Structure 1
C-alpha cells in the first residue's frame, strides 16, 4: 500500500495564484478586495488557497475558516468563529476587543470566552438592528482595525455548506468592508444548484466592483503529465498518461488517486474514492466510518470519547488511515484528505451503524455542553441523525436560543421550524420548551423576519393565528407582529393593527397596547388619516409614560410631531414634540436614532439645511458609537445627503450616498438613497444613468412608493424632471398629470397635506406646463408634437394643462404657511407666467437661505431665455453668463449644457462669450476683472460635457482607461470613448496635451 500521492508542487495554477495575489496586493495597498473561487470537487481549490497563504507568509494575518456540514441547519458562524479565534490567539483577547470598538461586547456571541468582564446595553437596546446588523458591523470594524497594522486575509472554504447567518454576514462584509482586507470564499460548484441560497449570493457578488469571481478549470493533458512527474519523479509513458487523463478528466485529486491504483482501473467514481479505504484493515475502516459521521473534521478529544475501544486501538487505526492518505492531521484534529472520500465512506454506513454513531456524538456534545461549550446545534443534529425525537427536541430548542443570542437569526428561524416539526412527536413539548406552540410560532417567525425571510415569517404567523382561540392572550401580539412583517401594503398593516387593538381594551396588557397604538398611529399618518393618527399618538405618549415604557412615548411623540407639521402646519409645536421625543428616549439607542431621523428630515423640509445636516451628522456619530453606522445609520446618511444637495455640495452628497448604498441597506432605506442618486444624475447631466435608475427600480421600492408620499412625490418629480431634461415635454406632462391625480381626489379635495414634499413637486408640474406651452417657441413641432408621446390630441393636451395648472395653484394656495412656500411659490408662478418679470421675482426668492442652491442658476437661465426671446440680447447674454458660471460652480452639468445650447442657438453665444458679457456688467471689482480676463481667451473646455470633464480630470491624474472606468463605475471601453471625444474636442493629439489644456495656461510672474 502506497502513501498519499500528493504533488510536492502545485501544477497548472500559476496564473490563478497570480490572480489572487494581485487581489491581495491591491488589498494590502488599502483597497478592500474579495475573491470568490468556484470549482468542482477535487479540482484544487484548497491547494490553491494554501499556496496563497504560504506565499503571503507573515506579512499578513491569514485566517482560515471552514463551513461545517451539519445538514440543513449548520452551527451558526462556524467558519468565522474559528478564524477569529485564531486571530485572538495571535493578538490576545484585549487587543481583539479593543479593535472591535463599540461592538466589543457583541464578539462574545461568536467567542464566548471573551465575555468575561464585558458589560453593555442589553435587551432590545442591543438588538436595534434586525438580522444581526450590530454583530455584522462589529466584525467589519474588527477586521478593518486589525488591517490598519497588518493586512488581513480571511479565507472561508466550502461555502456550499454555509449556514444562513454566516451567509448574511459575508454578504454584509462584501458590501461594507474597507481597508487592507482580502476576503476569499470557495465553493463546490456542482453543489450550488437551483434554489441553493449561495446561488443568489453569487449573483449579487458578481455586481460588486471589489469582487473577482471565477471557477478553476480542470488540468490539460500536459498539466496532468507535469503533475504525475512531480509525484512519481519520472515522466509517465503515453499509455499510462492516456489512462490517467481519461479516467481523471483532468481533476487533480482524481489523478492522485489513480496513481495509487497500480495497473487496476476503478470502474466507478465510488470505487476510486473508496480505493484507499478498502485496502485498510477492518479496524481502521470502522474508525473511518465513525469519523465520517462526525464530519470532515473531528477533534482527537471528540474521537476518543465516541470510540468504544481502547486508546491504543484508536491510535493504531488513525495512524493507518493517515499513512494511507485517507486522513491528515491538522493540529489536534483529524481531517479527511478530501470531502469526497468522507462522503463516500459515510454512504457506506449501514442504517443501524449510522444511528449508533450519531447517538455517541450527541452524548459527547451533551457532556461538552455541561462544561459550558455552545454546541446545542451539534447535539440537535446528531440526535436527529439517531432518530431520537425525544432528545432532539430539547436540544433543538436550546440551539434556537443560542443562535438567537448570537444574532444568528437565520439559523434560529430554521431551528424553530425544526422544533415545530418535532412538536407532535414528543411528550409534553410545551413543558420541555417552556413555551406554548403558539409562542414558538411567534418567536420562530420573529427570527425569520430578522433574517430577511419575511414570507416564511408571515406564513408561520398566519398558521398560528388560525390555530389561536379568540380568547388566547397571544392573538393581539400575533396580529401586531404580522403587521410588522407585512411590507406589501400600508392598508393591510392598518387593518391588522386595528384588529389587534380590538383584543386589547383599555386596562389589558398596557405595554402591548402601547406598542400597538404607537405603531397604528404611524401607519395612519402614512395613510394621511392625520386626525386619527394624532389622537392615537396622544394616547400612546401618556400610556407609555404610565406603563414605564418611555421608548414608546418617544416614538409616539415623534409621530405626533411629524403629523402636526405635515397635517396642520404647526411647525413650532412639531419641533417641541420632537424635543420631547429626544427627552423620553433617554439612552435608548433605537428611540434616539428614530428621533435623529425624523428631526433631521423635518428640519430639512422647512429649509434649515445647515441645521438638518448637523442633526443628521449627530445621529450618524451616535450610530457609529453603538455600532450601527452601516445598518440603521444608513438612513441618517440619506438625511445628511439631502441637505448637502440643497446646499450645493454635490460631491459630498454623492460620496455619502454611494458609500451608504454600498453597505447594502434595507430596501426601506435604500429608496431614499436612490432618490438622492436620481436627483444627482438628472441635475449633473447623467441622463442615461438617471433613466437606468428609474427603469430598474425593484418591485419592493415601487410598493413602498404606493403607500408613502415622501417616497412617491420625489419619484414623480424626478420623472417629470428627467422627461424635461430628455426633451420630452409630452412625457413630462403625462407625469405631471399623474402627480395632479395623486394630489387631488376626484371630488376636488386635496389628498396630501405634506407641503415639504409637495411644493417641489408642484414646481416640477408647472415646469411641464410651461414646456408644453412653449414648444412652438423652441421649434419642437408645436404643442401637438410636444404631447405626441402621451397619445393625447390637442384638446386632450389642453385639458391636461388646465387640470395640472389648477391643482398646482390650489396646492400653492393651501400651503402658504409652510416655511419654504416663499421660495417655491414664486418659482412656480414664474413657470406659469413665463416672462422676465416673473423670473426676476423667482431670482429674488432663490436668494433666500431657504432656497436650494440649484434654484438660482435655474432661475437665471430662465430669465436669460425670456430676455433673449424678447430681444434684450445684451442683458440676456449677461444673465446667461451668470447662470452658466453659477451652475458650473455647483456642478450642475444639466444647466451648464443647457446654457451652452441656449448661447449657441442665440447666435453663437458660447460659454466664453456668455462669460465675457456677464463680466462686463460689473466692472468695479477685482474678481470681475479677473473673470473678464479669463473670458477674453476662449475656454478650450467649453465643449466638454460634465462626464467628459470628470474623465479629463482623471486623465490629468495619470489614470489609465481601466482605472478611470473603475473610479467612475463605467467600463474601460466607455472611458476610452470619452477620452477619444475629449482629444477630438480639445484638438489634442495626446493624453498629456489634453491634461495640459485642462490645467490652463501657466501663471505669469508679476
Structure 2
C-alpha cells in the first residue's frame, strides 16, 4: 500500500481513543479505484484480538435498496460472535425491535416457546434505532467494536437514518465506525449528501477523502507490483498518464502483459476495465456477465442456482476468472475485485441477455424465500423489474413494502409503495394481488412517507388519493383525517377545518373507531390553537365514544386533552384529577402513557409545582428507557424537565439534559422547545450576546412550530423579548412581543403572563428613556400599557396570577412598596427562584431613588446573595454594578462581578478558588487557550465542534471573572 501511511495512522489513532473510551467515526471518501477498500483491508489486517470486527456491505439494488442490508449483515456477525442469548440480553428492552430486524432470532434457544417477541408494526423506528444503539453500546463494554460499512453511496434511506442516530447517541460506547463511499456517485440530490453534511457537525466524526497518487508514488506502486526487471521511464510515464494516479488503474495497467512496453496501454477506460475480462474464455465471460447481474458479490449457492451449466463448468470458469484477477473469493461469496470492473461488464450485456439473467435471479430468490429463507422480496422485485416483467414484479413489490414496514424501514417502504403504484395499471387484477385497493395503497404509502420524515411528499400523496376518491367512499373520511395530520406535521394551518370535514364525512355505516380517532385528533388541534371551550366539548365527546367502545387508548388521550383544556380556562383542580384519571385509563399503553407524562409534567410546571413536574418528567423518562425509546421518545420528556429545573435553580442539571437531547437530533417541535430553553438560560446567566447570535441562527426553524402552536408562539416570544431587552434593542423587543395583545382567542395564561411581564419591562424602559426608540414607536409602546393591564386582568383565574400581576404592576409603578409586594410574592414555592433576586434588585434601585441608602444596600446585598446562590449571573452582575455606581460595598462582590459575573465562585477574591471550580474539560480548553488556539482549533484538537468549544470558553471566562481570554490565562497562571 503506497501513500496511505498517514490515513492508516489516523485510523489506528482513532482506535486507540476508542479503546480508552472515546467513540469515533471515520468517513472515508474518494473516487472509484482510489483505494478505500484497500485502506480498510490494511487496517483490518492489523487489528488484534482485543477488538470485535463486524462488516457490512451496501448492495446495489437500484433506486430502492433492501432495508438495513449492511446493518443486518454486520449485526448477524455480532450475534454469531457473542451468541443469540447474550445479544438479546444485551439489548434489554429492545428485544422485540431487534427480532423485528433479525427475524431468525425468534427461532433461537434464547427465545422462550410461545413468547410474544414481535407485534406486527408494533416497533417504531425509534425503538429499533434504540435497540441497535443499546446492543452496540453494551457489547462494546466487553470489547471495543469496529464496525465497517462499505459503499455507503448504495445505502438505503433506513440505513442512513439508523447510522445518523448512532453517530449522535453512542457517546458512552467503545465503538469505531468506518464508513466508505464513492465521491463520484454522490451527485446533486443524492441522499448521502445530506447525511455527510450532518455527520460533519458531530464531534465524534472525522471525514477524509483519499487523494490520487503523484508520479513518484505511482512509480513506487509499480515497483511493488513487478518483481522482475523494472519498466522503462517511458512506460512508467505512460502508466502515470493513463492512470491519472488512481491506484486501481495502475494495478490494471501493470496487470496487462506485465507492463513490458508502452504499446499495451488501452485507448479508453472501458478497454482498460475489460482488458482482463476479454482475455478469458467464452465460458468464463458468460459466468462473469451472469455474476455482474447479481451484484458486486454473489454467494456460491445463489450463483449455482442461476447458472445453467454443470457445477464442474461453473468451478472451471470461476477458477479462471480468479486466476486472471477479475474475481476474488471472500468466504462463500464470489466478488469482483473492483466494482468498476463489474459495472463495465454489466454495461456490456445485451438487452435480452440482461432480462434473461435478471429472471433467473428472481426465480432463485423466490425459491429461497419459499424455503423459509430471509426476507428477500426487495431483491425479487428488483430482478423482476430488471427482467421487464411487471406482473411478477408487482406482488414482490407489495411484499417488499410489507417487509420494510415490519422492519420499520419507513423510507424504503414508501419508495416501494410508490413503485407499486407505478405498476398498478399494468397489472391485471392488481387489487386482488395487493390485497388492498389503490386508495388504500396510496394511504399506506403516504403514512410511510410521513413516518420517514417526508412531510411534504406524504401530504402530496394523500392529496392525490383524495382527488381519486369519491366522497361516498368510506376511505374519504380517513384520507381527510390523514391530510389534517400531515398538514400539522409540516407546520401548516387548516387542520381543524379538514378534521371537521372528515367528521362530517363519516357515515353511520363507518367504523366508530375512526370517528373516535378523528374526534380525539380534532380536540387536540383545538387545544393547541387555544380554542379551549371547543376543545373541552370535543374531547369530552371523544371520551364518551371511546369509553363506549372500550377503546382505552383514545379514552385516555381524550381525557388528557380535556384536562389540559380545562386547566387552560382555570379549572385546575378538576384538570389535575382528570389527568390522573387519564393515567388510569391508559392501562399501561405506551403511547397513551407518553401523552400523560408529557402533558401532566407540563401542567404541573405551569401551575408552579416544579418538583412534581420534574418527578413526572423523570418518571416518564424512566419508562421510556424501560421501553427502549430513551434516545427517541424520551427526549420529549427530557425537554419537559428542563423548565422546572430552571425554575428550581438547577441550571447545570437542565443544561445537561438540553445538550444530550439536542445531540440526538430530535424532531422540529422538540428541538424548538429545547433551543428556546437554552436561549432563556443564556440570558439569565449573563450571556445575552451569545443568546442573540444563537437566536438568529435557530429562529427560522422555530417559525413553522410557532405558527401552529400558541404555547410555542408565546414561549418563544417571551425569550425573544428578553434577549432584545438584554442587548438593549427595545424596538426589537416590542416587535417580538406585541402580538400577544392581538391573539384572536384568549392566550394560554401559563405562557402569556411571563410574556406580559416582559412586555411591561419594555414599556417601562421606553418610559424611562423614550429616545431609545423612534417617536412613533414610543407612542405605540407607551399607549399599550392599558392593553397589557387589561389582558393580565383577564387571566386572573390562573393559579400564579398574583405573582405575575405583582411584577407587572411594579414595572409600571416602580416604587419601593410595589417591589416589596413583588419580592414577597416571589417567596412562594410556586415562584421561579430567579424572580426574588430580581425583585430585590429592583427594590434596591427604588430605595436608592428615594434616598434610603442603607435599606437599599440591604436589599441589594440580599439580591446579590440570592443571585449567587441561585446561579442567576445576569442579576448578580447587574446588582454588583448598581451597588458600585451608588458607592455601596456588597459583601463578596468584586470588580469582576460588575463586568462578567461569576457563577459558583462569586463572593471570593481568590482566583485559585475560581480555577478549582473549572471542570476537567474546561481546564483542557484553558490550556489550549494559553497556546493561542482559536475556538475552531480547540474543537479540532479535542474532537468537539467549534460551537461547543465556544461554550466552554464562555464558561471559563464567566467562572474566572475574566473579561478576555488573555486575562483568563493570566488569572489561572497566577494560581500555580
Shorter-normalised TM range: over 0.9
TM-superposed deviation, 1:914: 7.4
* 1:63 alignment partner, one of 54, 70, 77: 54
TM-superposed deviation, 1:158: 0.6
Partner SS for 1:214: strand
* 2:240 alignment partner, one of 237, 242, 245: 245
Asked if the contact 1:504/1:513 (under 8 Å) is kept, the reply is: yes
Does the C-alpha gap of structure 1 residues 992 and 702 become closer, same or farther in structure 2, counting only changes over 3 Å?
closer
Partner SS for 2:678: helix
* 1:819 alignment partner, one of 789, 796, 799: 799
Gaps of 5+ in 2: 898-904
Asked if the contact 1:903/1:914 (under 8 Å) is kept, the reply is: no
- Tell me what 1:370 maps to: 370
Asked if the contact 2:911/2:960 (under 8 Å) is kept, the reply is: no
* 2:15 alignment partner, one of 7, 11, 24: 24
TM-superposed deviation, 1:845: 1.3
Task: Please say if 1:297 is aligned against 2:297.
Answer: yes
Does the C-alpha gap of structure 1 residues 816 and 987 become closer, same or farther in structure 2, counting only changes over 3 Å?
closer
- Tell me what 1:472 maps to: 473
- Tell me what 1:260 maps to: 255
- Tell me what 2:204 maps to: 210
Asked if the contact 1:81/1:110 (under 8 Å) is kept, the reply is: yes
Does the C-alpha gap of structure 1 residues 519 and 851 become closer, same or farther in structure 2, counting only changes over 3 Å?
same
- Tell me what 2:148 maps to: 155
1-structure distance, mates of 2:360, 2:547: 55
- Tell me what 1:137 maps to: 130
After superposition, give the CA deviation of every residue in 1:204-229 in whole Å (9 maximum; x if it has no partner): 11222221112111112222222122
* 2:854 alignment partner, one of 834, 858, 874: 874
* 1:231 alignment partner, one of 225, 230, 244: 225
Does the C-alpha gap of structure 1 residues 704 and 913 become closer, same or farther in structure 2, counting only changes over 3 Å?
closer
- Tell me what 1:516 maps to: 518
2-structure distance, mates of 1:891, 1:956: 26
Query: Counterparts of 1:858-873 in structure 2 under 5 Å?
Result: 858-873=838-853
2-structure distance, mates of 1:988, 1:477: 61
2-structure distance, mates of 1:284, 1:987: 73
TM-superposed deviation, 1:971: 7.3
TM-superposed deviation, 1:954: 5.8
- Tell me what 1:1004 maps to: none
Asked if the contact 2:121/2:408 (under 8 Å) is kept, the reply is: no
- Tell me what 1:611 maps to: 612
- Tell me what 2:719 maps to: 718
Task: Please say if 1:77 is aligned against 2:68.
Answer: yes
TM-superposed deviation, 1:666: 1.0
TM-superposed deviation, 1:968: 8.5
Asked if the contact 2:443/2:465 (under 8 Å) is kept, the reply is: yes
- Tell me what 1:191 maps to: 185
Asked if the contact 2:911/2:971 (under 8 Å) is kept, the reply is: no
Asked if the contact 2:97/2:118 (under 8 Å) is kept, the reply is: no
1-structure distance, mates of 2:428, 2:965: 85
2-structure distance, mates of 1:990, 1:701: 37
TM-superposed deviation, 1:714: 1.1
* 2:756 alignment partner, one of 745, 756, 762: 762
TM-superposed deviation, 1:126: 2.6
TM-superposed deviation, 1:890: 2.8
- Tell me what 2:781 maps to: 800
Partner SS for 2:46: helix
- Tell me what 2:902 maps to: none
TM-superposed deviation, 1:938: 4.4
After superposition, give the CA deviation of every residue in 1:850-882 in whole Å (9 maximum; x if it has no partner): 111111221222222222333333333343333
1-structure distance, mates of 2:5, 2:546: 66
Task: Please say if 1:222 is aligned against 2:216.
Answer: yes
Task: Please say if 1:706 is aligned against 2:707.
Answer: yes
- Tell me what 1:391 maps to: 392
- Tell me what 1:7 maps to: none
- Tell me what 2:158 maps to: 165
2-structure distance, mates of 1:211, 1:965: 12
1-structure distance, mates of 2:865, 2:919: 18
- Tell me what 1:644 maps to: 645
Asked if the contact 2:297/2:335 (under 8 Å) is kept, the reply is: yes
2-structure distance, mates of 1:810, 1:419: 59
- Tell me what 2:360 maps to: 360
1-structure distance, mates of 2:352, 2:809: 85
2-structure distance, mates of 1:341, 1:613: 60
Task: Please say if 1:330 is aligned against 2:318.
Answer: no
Does the C-alpha gap of structure 1 residues 940 and 640 become closer, same or farther in structure 2, counting only changes over 3 Å?
same
- Tell me what 1:779 maps to: none
1-structure distance, mates of 2:554, 2:118: 17
TM-superposed deviation, 1:991: 8.0
Partner SS for 2:148: strand
Does the C-alpha gap of structure 1 residues 489 and 147 become closer, same or farther in structure 2, counting only changes over 3 Å?
closer
- TM-score between both structures, scaled by the size of structure 2: 0.92
TM-superposed deviation, 1:725: 0.8
TM-superposed deviation, 1:892: 2.4
2-structure distance, mates of 1:111, 1:510: 37
- Tell me what 1:661 maps to: 662
2-structure distance, mates of 1:542, 1:472: 26
Partner SS for 1:175: helix
2-structure distance, mates of 1:359, 1:494: 50
Task: Please say if 1:38 is aligned against 2:29.
Answer: yes
Between stretches 656-665 and 221-230, larger displacement belongs to: 221-230
Partner SS for 1:696: helix
Partner SS for 1:83: helix
After superposition, give the CA deviation of every residue in 1:209-253 in whole Å (9 maximum; x if it has no partner): 221112111112222222122222465543232111111111111
- Tell me what 1:559 maps to: 561
Does the C-alpha gap of structure 1 residues 224 and 722 become closer, same or farther in structure 2, counting only changes over 3 Å?
same
1-structure distance, mates of 2:630, 2:957: 41
Between stretches 545-554 and 600-609, larger displacement belongs to: 545-554
TM-superposed deviation, 1:451: 0.7
Task: Please say if 1:842 is aligned against 2:822.
Answer: yes
RMSD of Structure 2 on Structure 1 (CA):
3.0
Task: Please say if 1:271 is aligned against 2:265.
Answer: no
TM-superposed deviation, 1:520: 0.5
2-structure distance, mates of 1:555, 1:125: 21
Gaps of 5+ in 1: 1-9, 746-750, 776-782, 918-930, 1000-1006
1-structure distance, mates of 2:716, 2:951: 28
TM-superposed deviation, 1:148: 1.1
Asked if the contact 2:914/2:960 (under 8 Å) is kept, the reply is: no
- Tell me what 2:81 maps to: 90
Partner SS for 1:485: helix
2-structure distance, mates of 1:900, 1:687: 17
2-structure distance, mates of 1:539, 1:564: 14
Partner SS for 1:182: strand
Does the C-alpha gap of structure 1 residues 841 and 251 become closer, same or farther in structure 2, counting only changes over 3 Å?
same
- Tell me what 2:283 maps to: 283
- Tell me what 1:200 maps to: 194
Asked if the contact 1:327/1:337 (under 8 Å) is kept, the reply is: yes
TM-superposed deviation, 1:531: 2.0
Between stretches 356-365 and 521-530, larger displacement belongs to: 521-530
The number of equivalent residue pairs is 949
1-structure distance, mates of 2:919, 2:810: 33
1-structure distance, mates of 2:666, 2:103: 28
* 1:995 alignment partner, one of 956, 968, 972: 972
Does the C-alpha gap of structure 1 residues 176 and 938 become closer, same or farther in structure 2, counting only changes over 3 Å?
closer
After superposition, give the CA deviation of every residue in 1:949-975 in whole Å (9 maximum; x if it has no partner): 995796489998626976785476997
TM-superposed deviation, 1:154: 1.2
After superposition, give the CA deviation of every residue in 1:266-285 in whole Å (9 maximum; x if it has no partner): 11111111111111111101
- Tell me what 2:547 maps to: 545
1-structure distance, mates of 2:693, 2:584: 43
Does the C-alpha gap of structure 1 residues 114 and 913 become closer, same or farther in structure 2, counting only changes over 3 Å?
closer
Does the C-alpha gap of structure 1 residues 845 and 966 become closer, same or farther in structure 2, counting only changes over 3 Å?
farther
Asked if the contact 1:396/1:419 (under 8 Å) is kept, the reply is: yes
After superposition, give the CA deviation of every residue in 1:384-411 in whole Å (9 maximum; x if it has no partner): 0000111101111111111111111111
Partner SS for 1:697: helix
